[in-house]
């Protein structure tokens, strides 16, 4: 009885079905199922007497048989243009004839709601033969079965692939758990690094692994090297460290190099670089590798903290006292003067300058210094160490300015200083100032001083932000109340986030044509209703993971993660058609489409929107109610 009940239970994926939003992805399924159907339908009499084809809603053929002495492509396309739309519209068999050629269009229904998702078209010359009708109906059912067989195979393949990845990830998690436990059991830097390299060699036995440290370290292990910045534009190790994100490159021989920053909670301490031969890397390994790098960074940081506990306790006391003093004042001048005085004392420095960026003149202005000649000096954002920090948004440490003159500095030249530590002052992620601390003796400042200045610059930045009379308060609203779509800033943030992890994506900008004329003719209430209608059409035409937003006024935007231009065009075209057919009063839309890929030299939200906006502008100039792809 148990076995009988099991036999009666349906296979779970037999209840799965396609949906309207899947239409852009169906052509490849149509091609594969029609190919299979042809192999299995060789015995059909009708196959020898005419042509079969499978058509999508846009009357495009995705596979056909081609015996001799049958209607040529123009005649077949003409018959298809008549019979196929009717079969889609009526949900029943339709026929068409022209110049001695005849066609029969049989709809293929979805199994969930019986909606038509494709049409099988049979064309032949000569008089129609009613005896073919039953055979054609059977052929259509057979073709539908082939489609769902292919469709269900996708589920099975996905399941197998997901299970494989889960098994692989589970094994990695177990190995990483043990590696993390061993790492956290170590209390000195050398043991942490040795354990980390051993764990990587165990997890990736066919790889070549190196660790590039950003601070001085003497151990004798040839795999541990100092981090150098000689050619940052083409060095993935330097890129990974400076950008705090993984970098990857592929050689012509198929070798892959992956560089991942080893980061703790306070800073990046180095870069793990792994080289693998062709076929030895799986993208699913990336989370495990990143987790191990993060774990190693945290363990390394803990070991450093343990070694320097007494020094850090004193530093924390200094930071605490300085922060309390900074927060007692809301006047920028007092904050800068106090910061200068404290920094000179803490670092036992000879000179200190605190500069602020004047956004109006776009110059750095000295706001506080113990050098009278430097008072109120102005410098271009491209000049000296200020310029370097402004461009890179990174702190600096210079051991000997006289021997490594990377830029010209008026401060260093006029004071005879040789050592320098410098850090940016951030407000809302932007550089609004720079701190320069110098000494006349070479190699005077330690790496710990360098790190401490970074921490102090953060607190100075917070004090500056609190004291600024021009602080901007941005209200975080992610939903547009009229259309129900997301707000523009939310769309920007989501695209930025997806660009960090996706290989590609597409953007569609949608603009309602002559919207001002609608408002002038019918009033703003009708204009708002049109906006709501178009927004609803867009929402129904995209996948759950796609992001639709109101870009501004009558302009709407749709971001399609993991979608290339070809598919984006189909979605945009569906939106364009539905808007023209379903809006009341009737309006049309123009669309601009752009895409980004991981291979782009500059990946940014701004460039993606710019290309789409230029394409939309071109669509407007070409008469509206059309779609243009941005270059």
The 10s digit of each residue's pLDDT in 554-580 is: 889 999 999 999 999 999 999 999 999
Q: Where are the beta strands (DSSP E) in 333-398?
A: 351-358, 363-369, 378-379, 396-398
Across 191-205, 233-247, 518-532, which has the greatest mean pLDDT?
518-532
Decide if pLDDT at 5 tops 60.
no
Decide if pLDDT at 285 tops 90.
no
Residue 83 structural domain: 23-156
Q: Are 516 and 525 in contact (CB under 8 A)?
A: no
Mean local confidence (pLDDT), 271-297 = 79
Q: What pLDDT is attached to residue 615?
A: 92
Q: What pLDDT is attached to residue 223?
A: 84
Q: What pLDDT is attached to residue 473?
A: 37
Q: Are 562 and 592 in contact (CB under 8 A)?
A: no
Same-domain status, 543 and 456: no
Six-digit token string for 294 = 């993060």
Q: What pLDDT is attached to residue 471?
A: 34
Q: For 392-413, how does the pLDDT look when each residue is reduced to its tens digit (9 = 90+)?
A: 989 999 888 888 888 888 888 8
Q: Which DSSP state fits 382?
A: T
Of 426, 453, 476, the last residue of a domain is 476
Same-domain status, 486 and 547: yes
Q: Are 605 and 495 in contact (CB under 8 A)?
A: yes
The phi and psi torsions of 526 (rounded to 5 degrees) equal -65, -40
Nearest C-alpha neighbor of 24 from the set 495, 510, 541: 541
Q: What pLDDT is attached to residue 469?
A: 46
Decide if pLDDT at 4 tops 70.
no
Q: For 164-173, how does the pLDDT look when each residue is reduced to its tens digit (9 = 90+)?
A: 877 777 776 6
Q: Cα angle vertex 51, ends 48, 52, to 5°?
A: 110
Same-domain status, 487 and 464: no
Is there a domain that residue 323 lies in? no
Write the CB contacts of 386 (distance below 8 Å, at least 6 apart in sequence): 355, 364, 379, 434, 436
- Here the CATH number for the domain that contains residue 98 is 3.30.450.40
Of 433, 455, 476, the last residue of a domain is 476
Same-domain status, 489 and 461: no
Residue bearing tokens 């920090």: 389
Mean local confidence (pLDDT), 222-243 = 81
Give the span between the Cα atoms of 552 and 348, in whole angstroms. 54
Same-domain status, 46 and 132: yes
Is there a domain that residue 1 lies in? no
Is there a domain that residue 176 lies in? no
Q: What pLDDT is attached to residue 475?
A: 38
Helix residue ranges, H only, 416-522 = 447-467, 488-499, 515-522
- Per DSSP bridges, beta strands 224-226 and 208-213 are parallel
Same-domain status, 483 and 472: no
Give the span between the Cα atoms of 255 and 613, in whole angstroms. 39
Q: What pLDDT is attached to residue 1?
A: 44
Is there a domain that residue 312 lies in? no
Same-domain status, 196 and 280: yes
Nearest C-alpha neighbor of 438 from the set 327, 351, 343: 351
Q: What pLDDT is attached to residue 573?
A: 92
Give the span between the Cα atoms of 77 and 631, in whole angstroms. 32
Is there a domain that residue 285 lies in? yes
Of 156, 175, 203, the last residue of a domain is 156
pLDDT band at 616 (very low <50, low <70, confident <90, very high): very high
Number of other CB atoms surrounding residue 585 within 10 Å: 11
Q: Which DSSP state fits 446?
A: -
Which has the higher per-residue pLDDT, 170 or 591? Answer: 591
Please tell me the least confidently modeled range out of 17-31, 101-115, 253-267, 280-294: 280-294
Same-domain status, 471 and 573: no
Give the span between the Cα atoms of 273 and 255, in whole angstroms. 13
Six-digit token string for 12 = 């779970």
- State CA 566 to chain mean position distance: 19
Give the span between the Cα atoms of 348 and 445, in whole angstroms. 9
pLDDT band at 438 (very low <50, low <70, confident <90, very high): very high
Q: For 83-130, how does the pLDDT look when each residue is reduced to its tens digit (9 = 90+)?
A: 999 999 998 999 888 888 888 999 999 988 889 999 999 888 876 566
Q: What Cα–Cα distance (Å) separates residue 524 from each residue in 133, 474, 518, 531?
A: 55, 28, 8, 10
Q: What pLDDT is attached to residue 329?
A: 65
Q: What pLDDT is attached to residue 217?
A: 66
**C-alpha torsion angle, residues 132, 135, 137, 138 (rounded to 10):** 180
Give the span between the Cα atoms of 137 and 474, in whole angstroms. 63
Same-domain status, 567 and 449: no
Give the span between the Cα atoms of 277 and 256, in whole angstroms. 6
Is there a domain that residue 297 lies in? yes
Q: What pLDDT is attached to residue 6?
A: 47
Q: What pLDDT is attached to residue 221?
A: 78
pLDDT band at 9 (very low <50, low <70, confident <90, very high): very low
Q: 436, exposed or middle or buried, with CB in 10 Å at 0-12, 13-18, 19+?
A: buried
Tell whether omega for the bond before 585 is within 30 degrees of 0, i.e. cis: yes
Mean local confidence (pLDDT), 400-427 = 88
Number of other CB atoms surrounding residue 275 within 10 Å: 17
**C-alpha torsion angle, residues 527, 593, 561, 20 (rounded to 10):** 60
Which sign, positive or negative, has the C-alpha torsion 179, 183, 189, 191?
negative
Is there a domain that residue 403 lies in? yes
Q: Are 456 and 319 in contact (CB under 8 A)?
A: yes
Same-domain status, 390 and 335: yes
Q: What pLDDT is attached to residue 510?
A: 93
- Here the CATH number for the domain that contains residue 596 is 3.30.70.270
Give the span between the Cα atoms of 201 and 199, in whole angstroms. 5
Same-domain status, 27 and 136: yes
Decide if pLDDT at 12 tops 60.
no
Give the span between the Cα atoms of 153 and 156, in whole angstroms. 5
Q: Are 487 and 550 in contact (CB under 8 A)?
A: yes
Decide if pLDDT at 436 tops 60.
yes
Q: Give the residues across from 555 on adjacent strands.
A: 511, 552
Q: What pLDDT is attached to residue 557?
A: 92
Q: What pLDDT is attached to residue 13?
A: 58
Write the CB contacts of 489 (distance below 8 Å, at least 6 apart in sequence): 476, 478
Q: Is the pTM of this model over 0.85?
A: no
Is there a domain that residue 171 lies in? no
- Domain tally for the chain? 4
Q: What Cα–Cα distance (Å) separates residue 495 from each residue in 343, 500, 516, 562, 628?
A: 40, 9, 30, 11, 21
Same-domain status, 467 and 494: no
Q: Cα angle vertex 566, ends 619, 500, to 5°?
A: 100
Please tell me the least confidently modeled range out of 19-28, 227-236, 270-279, 550-559: 227-236
Which has the higher per-residue pLDDT, 543 or 68? Answer: 543
Q: What pLDDT is attached to residue 470?
A: 34
Across 284-293, 331-340, 511-520, which has the greatest mean pLDDT?
511-520
Q: Are 587 and 514 in contact (CB under 8 A)?
A: yes
Nearest C-alpha neighbor of 164 from the set 153, 156, 176, 174: 156
């Amino acid at each position: 009885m148990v076995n009988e009940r099991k036999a009666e239970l349906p296979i779970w994926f037999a209840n799965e079905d396609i949906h309207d939003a899947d239409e852009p992805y169906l052509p490849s399924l149509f091609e594969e199922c029609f190919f299979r159907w042809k192999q299995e339908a060789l015995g059909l009499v009708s196959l020898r007497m005419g042509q079969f084809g499978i058509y999508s809603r846009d009357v495009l053929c995705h596979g056909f048989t081609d015996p001799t002495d049958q209607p040529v492509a123009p005649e077949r396309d003409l018959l298809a243009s008549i019979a196929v739309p009717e079969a889609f519209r009526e949900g029943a068999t339709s026929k068409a004839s022209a110049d001695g050629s005849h066609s029969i269009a049989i709809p293929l229904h979805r199994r969930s709601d019986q909606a038509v998702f494709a049409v099988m078209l049979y064309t032949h010359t000569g008089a129609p033969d009613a005896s073919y009708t039953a055979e054609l109906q059977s052929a259509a059912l057979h073709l539908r079965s082939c489609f769902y067989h292919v469709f269900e195979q996708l589920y099975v393949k996905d399941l197998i692939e997901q299970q494989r990845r889960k098994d692989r990830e589970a094994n990695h998690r177990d190995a990483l758990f043990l590696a993390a436990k061993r790492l956290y059991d170590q209390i000195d830097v050398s043991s942490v690094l040795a354990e980390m390299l051993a764990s990587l060699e165990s997890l990736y036995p066919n790889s070549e692994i190196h660790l590039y440290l950003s601070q001085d370290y003497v151990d004798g292990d040839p795999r541990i090297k100092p981090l150098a910045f000689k050619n940052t534009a083409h060095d993935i190790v330097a890129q990974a460290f400076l950008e705090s994100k993984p970098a990857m490159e592929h050689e012509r021989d198929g070798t892959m190099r992956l560089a991942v920053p080893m980061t703790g909670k306070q800073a990046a301490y180095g870069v793990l670089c792994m080289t693998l031969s062709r076929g030895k890397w799986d993208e699913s390994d990336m989370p495990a590798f990143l987790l191990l790098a993060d774990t190693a960074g945290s363990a390394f940081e803990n070991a450093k903290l343990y070694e320097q506990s007494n020094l850090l306790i004193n530093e924390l006391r200094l930071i605490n006292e300085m922060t309390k003093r900074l927060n007692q004042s809301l006047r920028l001048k007092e904050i800068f003067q106090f910061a200068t005085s404290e920094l000179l004392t803490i670092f036992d420095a000879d000179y200190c300058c605190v500069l602020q960026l004047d956004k109006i003149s776009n110059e750095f202005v000295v706001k506080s210094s113990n050098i009278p000649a430097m008072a109120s000096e102005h410098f271009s954002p491209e000049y000296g160490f200020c310029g370097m920090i402004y461009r890179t948004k990174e702190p600096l440490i210079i051991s000997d300015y006289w021997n490594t003159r990377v830029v010209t500095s008026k401060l260093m030249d006029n004071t005879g200083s040789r050592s320098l530590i410098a850090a940016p002052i951030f407000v809302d992620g932007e550089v609004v100032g720079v701190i320069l601390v110098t000494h006349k003796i070479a190699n005077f400042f330690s790496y710990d001083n360098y790190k401490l200045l970074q921490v102090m610059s953060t607190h100075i930045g917070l004090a500056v932000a609190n004291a600024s009379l021009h602080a901007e308060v941005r209200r975080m609203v992610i939903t547009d109340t009229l259309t129900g779509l997301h707000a523009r800033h939310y769309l920007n943030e989501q695209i930025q986030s997806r660009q960090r992890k996706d290989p590609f994506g597409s953007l569609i900008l949608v603009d309602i044509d002559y919207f001002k004329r609608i408002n002038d003719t019918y009033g703003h209430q009708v204009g708002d209703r049109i906006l709501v209608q178009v927004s609803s059409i867009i929402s129904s035409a995209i996948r759950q993971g796609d992001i639709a937003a109101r870009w501004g006024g009558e302009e709407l935007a749709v971001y399609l993660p993991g979608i290339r231009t070809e598919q984006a065009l189909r979605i945009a075209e569906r939106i364009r058609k539905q808007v023209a057919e379903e809006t009341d009063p009737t309006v049309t839309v123009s669309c601009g489409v752009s895409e980004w890929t991981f291979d782009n030299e500059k990946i940014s939200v701004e460039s993606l929107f710019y290309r789409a906006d230029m394409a939309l502008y071109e669509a407007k100039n070409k008469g509206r109610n059309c779609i243009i792809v941005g270059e």
